[in-house]
Structures are given as structure tokens and as C-alpha cells.
Structure 1
Amino acid sequence: MSEVFSARTAGPAAEGAQDPDLARARDGDDAAFTRLVQPLRRELHAHCYRMLGSTHDADDALQDALLRAWRGLARFEGRSSLRSWLYTVATRTCLDTIETRGRRALPVDLGPSSDRAVVGDVPLVEVAWLGPYPDAGLGDGPAGPGARYEQREAVELAFVAALQHLPGNQRAALLLFEVLGFSAAEIATMMSTSTMSVNSALARARKVVAEKIPSVTQQQTLRRIDDARVREIVAGYSAALERGDADALVALLTEDVTWSMPPLGHWYHGLRAVTDFAVQIPLTRCGNWRHLPTSANGQPGVGCYLWNDGAGAHLGWSINVLTLRGERIAEITSFVGADHFASFGLPASLP
């Protein structure tokens, strides 16, 4: 993909084209290259997550993309901004990754919900699961004036899950246009295709995404709720689990609430089924819980810790992402796995 590095994208010349760090980096100064890309790392990482649906994949893709950029920097001609060029490299890297594996899924993508608690549910290791995104520090980002989605809206679970139903080229076109504000002509050059093809991909992608995401985003919902009230909901959810209080938990949920736990395949829909699951599994069989509040995918989240006799401590068990409707919880997505905690800056265990 040597065409990635020719940087013949449309648009204004880079403001940093005369940056002395750029000249030093072209001469092989890796410290200068690090200084150039550091301000863009966070937004590039978020872009890779949106493309791939996994923080771990995003880590690998960003590392690979920056290595490609470093190796090809001498051929960067400055006909576009450095940011545009790096997005080209990152997008191509993600498309290569998408070609090698299937889309990432949530349990709701695999089959119907369960009416009763499934005891002894086991992880489905053959499925590539969607993962949570630690959004601490994620800002608005320098999107163009045509961008439709806010940066935080564009990491919400419903949006990222919907993206996974798109082919790679449609996914890339939608993100570059609707989230990052690149023009169709710019995207065509970045993806080595025609403007007509980009517009066609955008039309198909918009249709699929519109059918799969709610009309009201989590950012809109959260803006309507006082921050203190959101903290109360999260604290109430955590306290109910720690006390084993089913009534307190149910009082926080909508009638059509869903609860899923990737990589476990079974999921639950509706207050009756979710209550049965909660009573049978986390409130009774699991044991003693502790929790820490966090933020994931632009939504309120909870780090859940389960007591382990062997360790003599509460060990990280899952990152629970809460989707709110009004002041109630409409979806609980419990991403099970201790490996999620480090990326959220959460401790591996609690006393």
C-alpha cells in the first residue's frame, strides 16, 4: 500500500508542513516524530476503536499505523495536513485488519433472548466480541464542519455495534465523513476510489446505521439528566448488587431492559427475565461484590469486583456499561474479563 504514503489527498497544505520537527522526523529523528503524532494519538485511537470494535485491536492497529507512517514519512509531500495523512494510514491499517477477521458481535446479534436465568453459561471463545472503550480524556476532537456525530456519540455502544454490521469500506466512509468531517472527495483519495463510490457507500451505511441506533443518543439523554442524578443511579445500581437487593435493582430498570454479558452467549430482555437472571446469578450465586464508578463508551459505567477466596480480595470481574432512558437503566452490558480493567485505569483488585 505504498499509495498510502504519497499523501496526495485534497485540502489545504498542512499548517505544520514547515514544522522543524517534521524535517527532523524525515531525517530519522524518532523523538521528533513522537512529538508530531502525540497530539493526535487519542483521536486516532478512538478512530481505530470505532473501525474495529475492540480496544485491544485499536491498540495494535494504532501501533502498526504509526510504524507505517514512520517508515513512509520521507514520502509525505505536505499536500494535505499531517492529520489527514495519518487518518489515511490508520484507516487503511484498520481495513487490513477487518479483512482478516469477521465483525465483532454482542450477544443480541447471535440469537433470541433467554426467558430464564441460564446457570453455568460458558464463554463463547469462537466469537469475536465487541469490547468496551475507556473514554476518559476523549474530547470533541477537531472534526470538520460537516461532521454529524459528536466524538462521544460516536463511541456509544449502539453506534459502534451498528458499525460492525457494515462492510469495511462503508464503515470507513461513514466515520471519515460523519464523525471526522472529511469531504467525499478527500475520502475518495484516502481510500483510492471515486467520489461516486464514496457517496454510494455513505448512502448504504447511513441506512443500516439509522435502522440500528436509537433516535435519542446517550449524550442527549445525559444532558437532560443532572450529573448528580447520574451518579445517584450508578451508586444505586452498585449498592443494590452489593446488598443483594433485588427490589432496589428493579426500581432502577425500564420494563424492556436488556442485560447481556459478552463473552457469555445468553442475554435477557424484559423486566421479568432480567429480574430472574439477577436474582439467580449475580445477587445470590456469585458471592460478594464491590464496585467502582467509571465511564465507558461515553456512558456511565461500573467496574465490578467479585470476592475470590484464593486471592483474599475482590478481583476485577467485568466492566458494566449502562445505557439510560430517562432516569432508568434500559440496557446493562457486562463486559466480562479482568483484562479490561487496565485500559480503564482501574485497579486489578480491591480489598
Structure 2
Amino acid sequence: MELPTQTTLVLAAQEGDQKAFETLVGLYQRELLVHCYRMLGSLQDAEDLVQETLLRAWEKRTTLTSPGSYRAWLYRIATNLCLNTLTRIPRRSLPPSMQPQSDPESSLPKRVREPIWLEPFPDDLLPDQTTDPEDYALSREHISLAFLVALQEITPEQRAILLLREVLDWPAREVAEWLNLSVAAVNSGLQRAKRALHQCQALPATSTALLDGQLQSLLDRYVTLWEQADIPGFVALLREDAWFTMPPFPIWFQGRAAITTVLSTRIFTPGRQRHLLPTRANGSPAFGLYQREPEADTYQLLGLMVLGLEDEQIASLVAFLEPSLLSFFALPPTLT
């Protein structure tokens, strides 16, 4: 939006025009949601924080002295709310970064219901995508599960500095002011965050090397083989070092042999039928997981599978087996 129009909206909102305020914040609501999600690792918590940010912005609307910096002002409020929240909630991640590999022959452990797992983010809630291929690829990388896992490994303050400086490209001077730090502290915090991020970013993101036709062919094979419970064919799509995890179960498996065992003993059990519904999550191909029990008339939504791809193979499978997390996705609870 052009600055004069934004200024008009800000001034009207400061006079108590709620419609002008709603129009104004509507311009930034999705990008604030993505920012809070990156900070917290939870879409549900991020939505709550965005609503609190907008409430604070309305309550404090008369304190803004520079209408042209309204977007930066919202980010400052949102970032500090996230930092306050992170002082009292646990770090979120995925099982591969929290514990050793699981034994595929062992029994399934109990679900861990505590809020320690990353939550998936639907691509449909991302801000309008740029048409520049390089910028689009970068924006997709910055919402990937690999990036999110790495972000949660660094301190909340480093996380905020990295996102504000590297992802959102705010000047160091402004970030220092927002976080009550010196510019030198922001710059050194950024370097530490980048080093730590490089060391712990081990999960593969979706490769951009695949052409659209190649990608669709791979996904079509994936769907067919999964729905047919063709374990040898399905495993052939995987990299030799591919890994599979199923939060909220605190387990993960690596390698074709281990994944074959898990599929044959826990996933593709006789009598059940499976169906996949395509969607996208965290900048990657994803599928709603549906299952129909013997004698049942409908398929029930079990969870969401997010794929990590490298070249023409599947490098990771993350099955989020908590349907309550999927209310933000356009996935019906049942299929006939």
C-alpha cells in the first residue's frame, strides 16, 4: 500500500475509526502470523499472539508518532510478546533433534501430549507469494521444517535477531532499539545465531531442483504406492538415509530397512484402507492421511504427512498424527 494511504488509515485509526484500523492491520496480519510462528514453532500459539498484538496496537494506537513506521511498530509489539511467551513455555522441535533413533522392533510408546512438538503451517496462510523465483524459493526455505527445527535450537533472543535482521531485513539500529540492545550486541548475536543455525540445520528442506513435471510424477507414485500398501515400491522412493517420524509419538527411524519394518508392522496393517488428500505445508508437498477401518463406511482423518525431497527421492517423512492441529488446513474430517 502507498504511504499516503497508510498514513490516512493510521491517522483515522488513531481517532478511533475501527474500520480503518481493521483495514490497516489486515495488510500485515498474515506476515505477522508467519513471524510469530517462526518464533514459537506453534501455529495455534502464533494466532493467539497475533490477536494480542492487534489488541495492543489498538489500545496503544495514540502513542505511535510516525505513521509511516506502522508495520515496524507492529513487528516490535509482536516480537516482544513472543519473547515474553518464550520465557514460560518449552522449546518445540521434532523427535530427531530430541532423542536417539528408535528401534523399529520395539513397541509403540505413549503419545507425548505436552506442547513440545513443532506444528505444521499451511501454505494457504502464507502472505501473497512473490513472482521472483529466487525470492519465492527463499521464502519457502524460511518456513520449512528444517529451518524451524534449527531456529528452535538457538536462544529466543538470537531467534528474534536472526529473523528480524536476516529474514525480514530490518536495520540493526532498529532491531537494537526494539530489543533494548546495543547495535554491537545485535551484530554479535546475529553472527552467533548464524553459526548455531548452520551447525544444527540437519533436516533436509524440499529441493528446488525438481521441475514441476518431475515433482508431480514423484508425488503421484507416492500416492499410488501408499494407498496400495506397496511397501517395496514405496521404500524404493526413499533415499537410503531417509528418516521417518510421527509426533506426538516420541520416535523416529532412519534408513530403508527400519522404515520397511515400521510400515509392515505398524502402518500397513491388513484390512485397513488408506487415502491421501494433497495439500501443502511448510513450503513442502503434504498430504492429509485418511484411513478406513474394516466394515467402516468412511475414511477418518488421522494426520498430516509432510515430505522432505532431495532431487528425485524422498529424504524425510514427518507424520503429524494429531488431527486437532489440522483445523487450519482445508482437510475434511471424513471422506466417503
Does the pair score TM above 0.5?
yes
Superposed, 1:174-185 pairs within 5 Å as: 174-185=162-173
Once the two structures are TM-superposed, the CA of residue 311 in structure 1 deviates from its matched residue by 7.0
2:87 counterpart of 1:102: no
Tell whether 2:297 aligns with 1:318: no
Residue ranges of structure 2 left out of the alignment (5+ in a row):
none
Which amino acid in structure 2 is aligned with residue 234 of structure 1? Answer: L
CA gap of 1:59–1:137, structure 2 versus 1, over 3 A, is closer
Give the counterpart of 1:254 among 228, 239, 248: 239
Cα distance in 2 between the residues matched to 1:199 and 1:310: 62
Cα distance between partner residues in 2 of 1:159 and 1:270: 22
Q: 2:248 aligns with which of 248, 258, 263?
A: 263
Q: Give unpaired runs (5+ residues) of structure 1.
A: 1-13
Task: Select which of 180, 193, 200 maps to 1:192.
Answer: 180
2:104 is paired with a residue of what secondary structure?
coil
Which amino acid counterpart does residue 99 of structure 2 have in structure 1? Answer: G
Q: Distance in 2 between matches of 1:49 and 1:16?
A: 30
| Matching of residue 78 in structure 1 with residue 66 in structure 2 | yes
Checking the alignment, whether the CA contact within 8 Å between 2:204 and 2:309 is kept in structure 1 is: no
| RMSD (Å), alpha carbons | 2.3
Measure, in 1, the Cα distance between the counterparts of 2:84 and 2:151: 16
The 5 Å alignment of 1:1-351 reads 15-16=3-4, 19-78=7-66, 81-136=69-124, 138-139=126-127, 150-213=138-201, 217-218=205-206, 221-222=207-208, 224-284=209-269, 287-308=272-293, 312-351=297-336
Q: Provide the rounded CA distance (Å) in 1 between the counterparts of 2:204 and 2:321.
A: 27
Deviates most, 331-340 or 251-260: 331-340
1:118–1:277 contact (8 Å) kept in structure 2 = no
AA in 2 matched with 1:60: D
Q: Partner amino acid for 1:327?
A: E
> What SS is found at the alignment partner of 1:255?
strand
CA deviation profile, 1:259-313 (whole Å, cap 9, x unmatched):
0011101110111111111111111268221111111111111111122579742
Q: Match for residue 5 of structure 1?
A: none
- Secondary structure in 1 matching 2:223: helix
What is the alpha-carbon distance in structure 2 between the residues aligned to residue 31 and residue 119 of structure 1? 56
State the percentage of identical aligned residues: 36
Which stretch of structure 1 is more off in the superposition, 295-304 or 206-215?
206-215
CA contact (8 A) 2:6 2:67 kept: no
Cα distance, 1:105–1:214 mapped onto 2, change above 3 Å: closer
State the partner residue of 1:6: none
> What per-residue deviation string (whole Å, max 9, x for no partner) do you get for residues 187-228 of structure 1?
00111211111112111110110112259853xx22x21112
Whole-Å separation in 2 of the counterparts to 1:139 and 1:286: 42
Question: Separation in 2 of the partners of 1:127 and 1:163?
Answer: 17
Separation of aligned partners in 2, 1:40 and 1:349: 34
In 2, Cα distance between equivalents of 1:267 and 1:16: 53
Q: Distance in 2 between matches of 1:163 and 1:286?
A: 41
**Kept in 2: contact 1:316–1:349 (CA 8 A):** yes
| CA apart distance, 1:150 | 2.4
Write the letter of the residue equivalent to 1:98.
L
Shift of 1:234: 2.1
Deviation, structure 1 residue 347:
1.3
Alpha-carbon separation, structure 2, partners of 1:286 and 1:212: 41
Greater alpha carbon shift after TM alignment, 320-329 vs 132-141: 132-141
* Contact map agreement 2:7 2:68 (CA 8 A) in 1: no
Closer/same/farther in 2, CA of residues 309 and 30 from structure 1, 3 Å limit: farther
Per-residue CA deviations over 1:9-44 (Å, capped at 9, x if unaligned) read xxxxx9258633222211222221110011111111
